[in-house]
Structure 1
């Protein structure tokens, strides 16, 4: 290359690892192994850091959903209200997307508030899983992807609270959430539901 030629543009960064799932890998794996229960110290870390996030829950939720839909547009097929939206600014203005963002954040808030009560957490996540399996017919791997996107956004938007150690604890929590949700899919016979819907 001569000195007058401009250097080639930098290559885009590699897609982020989202709880072990890379962009474009959309197959549904077997149910993951159950993670170790959270320790008292880990529960405290999650509740402390969540307090900072939840003060801005709607804005954080909207940011998470916009990134989720921009990076994984196939997920929009489950949302007739905004499946045709391409522009992130249009998504941000969507009252339906804001409503769903609040629901997602409130579900996580219920989990975080009840970390001391595993039965309550399990029942809340079973309801979420069953609704998404039976009513909405959402592929369970989207929960894994959404968890990874949420972890990215929290680390970027709250760097002073989401240190590497805190991110590890949150990854453990999101793994537990995914385990419970996929359990609900298994309980309702997801494979039969999804194959009969074809």
Structure 2
């Protein structure tokens, strides 16, 4: 990349000189300060949701960001949970095959009117809520998530790939509910939380 620097001092007319982007020179002594990455405002690093590897740890700030952004979601948990699960099934109809009671719900309207869908959706959002409030008790959190993993692996035979897909729907809903207040640091914290949950849900597979 070529960067042009406006000249001064001995450079007639304040003309621009060209130089490479890896080193910046002033047109005449004294030398200009070399630009560095420290001069560039850094955005909080984000990570994609993963379902394998090591479980992430959480800072106090990340825990606070998760809980603060969750409050607006969980305060309307009945409607929000249904929206999440219905969106998931509409986008991934093959996932319904793992739940016999959902197999005949072949339209969005049928999904919305199903009490079984609402009941299951509430179980999902309550599981996320438990995982959030047990972040300070990792042993209890691991135990509850392991039980869910065993149920989905042994009883329901759910394909584990769908955990990550559902997690992405949950993240989109959290971002939507928080609208303009969902910062990059909050998103990063949520990506870590959902990674933690997805990895935990695969322990029985």
TM-score with structure 1 length normalisation?
0.75
Counterpart Cα distance in 2 of 1:79 and 1:36: 30
SS at the partner of 2:103? coil
Q: Give the secondary-structure state (helix, strand or coil) at the position aligned to 2:112.
A: helix
When Rg is computed on C-alpha atoms for both structures, the one with the higher figure is 2
1:49 equivalent to 2:49? Answer: no
Equivalent residues of 2:69, 2:174 under 8 A apart: no
Deviations 1:72-101 (A, max 9, x none): 111000122222223212211110000001
Distance 1:42 1:157 in 2: 18
Q: Which moved more, 1:156-165 or 1:39-48?
A: 156-165
Q: What is the match of residue 39 of structure 2?
A: none
Quote the offset at 1:160 in angstroms: 3.6
2:39 paired with 1:19: no
Question: What 5-or-longer segments of structure 1 have no aligned partner?
Answer: 1-17, 21-30, 186-198
Does 1:33 pair with 2:36?
no
Partner of 1:138: 158
Aligned residues: 158
SS at match of 2:202: helix
- The one-character-per-residue Cα deviations of 1:26-80 (angstroms, maximum 9, x if unpaired) are xxxxx61114301111111111111111101121111111110111111000122
| C-alpha separation in 1, matches of 2:75 and 2:132 | 14
Moved over 6 A (4+): none
Alignment match, 1:167:
187
SS of 2:130's equivalent in the other structure is helix
State the secondary structure of the residue aligned to 2:102. Answer: coil
Q: Partners of 1:87 and 1:161 in 2: how far apart? A: 33
| Alignment partner, residue 146 of structure 2 | 126
What TM-score do you get using the length of structure 2 for normalisation?
A: 0.72
| Cα distance in structure 1, aligned partners of 2:199 and 2:92 | 21
- Tell me, yes or no, if structure 1 residue 78 matches structure 2 residue 98: yes
Q: What is the Cα-based RMSD across aligned positions, in Å?
A: 1.6
